[in-house]
Amino acid sequence: MPDPQPVRSAFHTVEEGWIDHNGHMNMGYYTVLFDHCADDVFAGIGFGPDYVAARGLTTYAAEFHIRYLREVKLGDRLFSKFYMLDHDPKRFHYFQELYHEEGWISATGEGLTLHVDLSGPRVVPMPDDIAARVAAMARAHASLPRPEGVGSRIGIRRRQA
């Protein structure tokens, strides 16, 4: 059974082209960074370029929600912790925390991913070997405390007078 810890990605460095006129990473590049970190985890599950080439199957993002908690700047090194929250034969729901190398959380991302046959393209069930890896990770992560921010909704919070 997989380790009952979130899966940690490799470090990724904030690039010059990702910096906006405010001197910090532009909001769009958080998605890029989360995607790079997820690719590290997906490869361990069995998704990746070899999977596409050998089986003609891949994953597509259906939804992704980001909470921006603390800015990052040029050259900062970050990694994510990845939690598999739920799955069914054709989809999986996950959560990521983006950590600065100094240990603080910069952002969180929550995603829903589809398993896709590229010949359609159409959403299809995962092969048994891949589905078993997703299920094993979900079982291991089910024992972890639910990360803060899962299922967050956007809105203005009003103070009670």
pTM of the predicted protein model: 0.92
Q: What are the tokens at 50? A: 């070899």
pLDDT digit string, tens, across residues 80-106: 999 999 999 999 999 999 999 999 999
Sketch out the chain's domains with CATH numbers.
7-142 (3.10.129.10)
Q: Could you tell me which of 73, 61, 157, 68 has the C-alpha nearest to residue 109?
A: 68
Q: Which of 141, 118, 10, 138 is nearest to 60 (CA)?
A: 118
Residue-wise pLDDT tens digits, 17-71: 999 999 999 999 999 999 999 999 999 999 989 999 999 999 999 999 999 999 9
Q: What percent of the chain has pLDDT over 90?
A: 90
Question: Six-digit token pair at 67?
Answer: 């909470």
What integer pLDDT is reported at residue 3 of this predicted model?
58
